[in-house]
Structure 1
Amino acid sequence: MTLTPKERAERSAQAMWAPDRASHWMGMALHEVDEGTATLSLEVQPHHCNGHGMCHGGVTFALADSAFAFACNSRNRTTVAQQNSITYVAPAHQGDTLTARAEERALNGRSGIYDVQVTNQTGAVIAEFRGLSRQIKGRLFDETGEDAS
């Protein structure tokens, strides 16, 4: 059976989501994946906030990083972060719902570039994240009926 790119992305996400304890622990929700794209969200809880009463930058980064991970693994090729950076544009606060939308910008061989925009429930931009990926050995699930690792 040949999978469409969207089916492959969804199967890849299923393979990653169940054992992704960090994203679950932080309270993230996976909404949509397709080839080279992913959307996740997080409602900012009291334990996500720093001493200034704002969402901790590391929480925003983690949400963007998770969206990046699902986007760059959408082709069923084990892919990891090579380098990531984030620019914080506005603060998020307790009760805000943050949404991270990752989009592939370039894929050449085993290296990719992905941009992730994090917005709040009103659509205000909270952060811009850029992730550089690198495919490594392995697959997330077996597409052939044989061991694909």
Structure 2
Amino acid sequence: MIATTDPYMQLLGLQTLLVEPGKAVLTTVVKPEHLNIHGSCHGGFLYSLADAAFALASNSHGTPAVALSTQMQYFKAVKAGESLEAHASEENLGRRTATYRIEIRSGGRMVALFLGTVFRLEASGS
């Protein structure tokens, strides 16, 4: 079983709602310290939320996985006080690589989209 949090997630206030094989859902609330110079949620905070969901989903099969590539698209501005959810889903699972889609949502609207591919390491003891 994998850990469902890490020190960085705790620092940012990210909470895990679900981890199942190939899936993860995280939640958080945007705080004033998460804002950029324009007064909206910093892209790095959104990226960190998506990346944490990516890590949990991609490691959920018990095989260690590390990121090969990621891509992030930002659609809507997010303000302080808004609740966010990151929904990670497995798009493709291969023997050595896997690809995931992570939607960041606020109040039912998708505010950002993250796509990531991992390299799946040999399971320990194999």
Q: TM-score, normalised by structure 2?
A: 0.95
**Equivalence map 1:37-116=2 (5 Å):** 37-116=23-102
| Percent of aligned positions that are identical | 33
SS across alignment from 1:50: coil
Deviates more, 1:128-137 or 1:49-58: 128-137
Specify which structure has the higher proportion of helix. Answer: 1
Deviations 1:74-115, CA, capped at 9 Å, x for gaps? 011110111000110101110011100000000111101100
| Offset, 1:137 | 3.7
Tell me the number of residue pairs that the alignment of Structure 1 and Structure 2 aligns: 126
Name the structure 2 match of 1:130. Answer: 115
Unaligned runs of 5+ in 2: none
Task: Report if the CA contact (8 A) 2:4-2:19 is conserved.
Answer: no
Q: Aligned Cα RMSD in Å?
A: 1.3
Task: Give the deviation of 1:26 after TM superposition.
Answer: 0.5
User: Residue 34 of structure 1 aligns with which residue?
Assistant: 20
In the alignment, the residues of structure 2 paired with residue 135 and residue 109 of structure 1 have an alpha-carbon distance, to the nearest angstrom, of 7
Q: Greater strand percent: which structure?
A: 2
Query: Quick one: distance in 2 between partners of 1:93 and 1:34?
Result: 30
Structure 1 unaligned residues grouped into runs of 5+ = 1-10, 140-147
Deviation track 1:53-80 (CA, whole Å, cap 9, x = no partner) reads 0000000001001001000000111101
The 1-side partners of 2:11 and 2:117 are apart by: 25
1:117 corresponds to 2:92 = no
TM norm structure 1: 0.81
Where does structure 1 differ by over 4 angstroms across 4 or more consecutive aligned residues? none
CA contact (8 A) 2:99 2:116 kept: yes
